[in-house]
C-alpha cells in the first residue's frame, strides 16, 4: 500500500509537528482537532516553524507554500477517517480518550487504513484491542520538536502485522526520520531509559548529594547531554514525568521504578516545570 492521505488527530505540540513533516514530504494531510481555535493555534505554529526553515535556507518559499497547501483543517474526524490511508493520533495522554478515538476511526476508516498512536507510554496492544483491526495498529512515537528530531520509535503491539510495520517504517523514512523497532513494553525504549535517569537525578537532589546546578552540570559536561536531567524534566513537564514513572512502576512491577517523593511533592504543589513558570528552575512567562 502506498500512503497518500494522512489524518493527524490533535493539533497540539506533537500533532502540528507531525502534520508539518508529512505535508513537507508530499503527503496530503487532514489535521483534526475539537475546535477551530485549536486548529488555528496549530497552524500558527506550523507557519512559524516553516518560517524558521526558510530563514535558515533549508526550505524554499515555494516548498513552504506547497507544504501549507497540503494541509486541510477539520473538526470532523469521521469524515477525515473515511478518506485516509493512515491516521496518526496525537491527542492528550489519556487512555479513555484514546480508546474512544480508536473506536471512532476504526468504525470509519477504510479496511486498508493503518491506525497509529503517538502515545508516550500507553500500551499499543491495549489500544489495538479496542479495534477490529489490531493487525493494522502500531505506535508511531515522534519526538519534540517533530520537524527537528530525527527519531521515530515504531512500537509493535502483540498483533501488529509485518505488513503494517513495513509500511509505517517506509513512511518514517519518507519523512527523513530514522525509525527504530520496539516491542510493546512500558515506556518503550526512550522513556524506559530516560525517565529513571531523571528520577534518579531528583533522588540525588532530595538527598542533598549535590545542588541542582551541579547535578545538571555533571550530565552536561561529563556525559555530553545537551541539557541536564532537572532542566529536561522541567521542559517535559513534571506531571508528564510522574505519569510515565507510574506507568513503568505499575507495568514492570519493580521498585527500582518508584517515583521520587520529591517529584510527587512538586507535582502536588503545581510546580510542573516550564509550562507552569516553576519547576526545578524558575521561568518568566
Residue 46 has, within 13 A of its CA and on its CB side, a CA count of 31
**Of 163 and 176, CB closest to ligand NAD:** 176
Find cell 507495568 and name the residue: 251
- Closest separation in Å from C-beta 207 to ligand NAD: 28
Residue of 240, 234, 250, 251 whose CA lies nearest to 184: 251
Distance CA 80, CA 108 (A): 9
Distance CA 27, CA 25 (A): 6
Q: Please report, as ranges, the residues that interact with ligand NAD according to CB under 6 A.
A: 9-15, 32-34, 38, 77, 90-93, 97, 101, 118-120, 141, 144
Find cell 477525515 and name the residue: 80
- Closest separation in Å from C-beta 7 to ligand NAD: 10
**Of 14 and 50, CB closest to ligand NAD:** 14
Distance CA 29, CA 7 (A): 6
The three cell numbers locating residue 208: 542533598
Distance CA 89, CA 103 (A): 12
- Closest separation in Å from C-beta 234 to ligand NAD: 12
Number of residue whose CB is nearest ligand NAD: 12
Measured over the CA atoms of residue 190, residue 30, residue 109 and residue 36, the dihedral's sign is: positive
- Closest separation in Å from C-beta 62 to ligand NAD: 29
- Closest separation in Å from C-beta 81 to ligand NAD: 11
Q: What is the Cα gyration radius of the chain? A: 19
Residue 1 has, within 13 A of its CA and on its CB side, a CA count of 21
Residue 188 parent element (H or E): none
Measured over the CA atoms of residue 263, residue 267, residue 271 and residue 277, the dihedral's sign is: positive
**Of 204 and 232, CB closest to ligand NAD:** 232
**Of 167 and 244, CB closest to ligand NAD:** 244
Find cell 512559524 and name the residue: 48
Which positions are annotated as active-site residues?
120, 141, 153, 191
**Of 10 and 259, CB closest to ligand NAD:** 10
Amino acid at each position: 500500500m502506498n500512503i497518500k492521505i494522512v489524518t493527524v488527530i490533535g493539533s497540539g505540540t506533537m500533532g502540528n509537528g507531525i502534520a508539518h513533516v508529512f505535508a513537507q514530504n508530499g503527503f496530503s494531510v487532514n489535521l483534526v482537532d475539537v475546535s477551530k481555535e485549536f486548529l488555528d493555534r496549530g497552524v500558527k505554529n506550523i507557519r512559524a516553524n516553516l518560517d524558521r526553515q526558510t530563514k535558515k535556507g533549508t526550505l524554499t518559499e515555494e516548498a513552504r507554500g506547497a507544504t501549507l497547501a497540503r494541509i486541510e483543517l477539520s473538526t470532523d474526524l469521521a469524515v477525515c477517517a473515511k478518506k485516509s490511508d493512515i491516521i496518526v493520533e496525537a491527542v492528550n495522554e489519556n487512555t479513555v480518550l484514546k480508546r474512544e478515538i480508536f473506536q471512532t476511526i476504526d468504525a470509519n476508516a477504510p479496511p486498508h487504513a493503518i491506525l497509529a498512536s503517538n502515545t508516550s507510554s500507553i500500551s499499543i496492544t491495549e489500544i489495538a484491542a479496542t479495534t477490529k483491526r489490531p493487525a493494522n495498529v502500531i505506535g508511531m512515537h515522534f519526538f519534540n520538536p517533530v520537524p527537528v528530531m530525527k527519531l521515530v520509535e515504531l512500537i509493535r503491539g502483540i498483533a501488529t502485522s509485518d505488513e503494517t510495520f513495513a509500511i509505517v517504517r517506509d513512511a518514517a523514512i519518507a519523512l527523513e526520520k530514522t525509525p527504530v523497532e520496539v516491542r510493546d513494553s512500558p515506556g518503550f525504549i526512550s522513556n524506559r531509559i530516560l525517565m529513571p535517569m531523571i528520577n534518579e537525578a531528583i533522588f540525588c537532589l532530595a538527598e542533598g548529594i549535590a545542588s541542582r546546578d551541579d547535578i545538571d552540570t555533571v550530565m552536561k559536561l561529563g556525559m555530553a547531554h545537551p541539557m541536564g536531567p532537572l532542566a529536561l524534566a522541567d521542559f517535559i513537564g513534571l506531571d508528564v514525568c510522574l505519569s510515565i514513572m507510574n506507568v513503568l512502576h505499575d507495568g514492570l512491577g519493580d521498585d527500582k521504578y518508584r517515583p521520587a517523593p520529591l517529584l510527587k511533592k512538586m507535582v502536588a504543589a503545581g510546580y510542573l516545570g516550564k509550562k507552569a513558570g516553576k519547576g526545578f528552575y524558575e521561568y518568566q512567562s
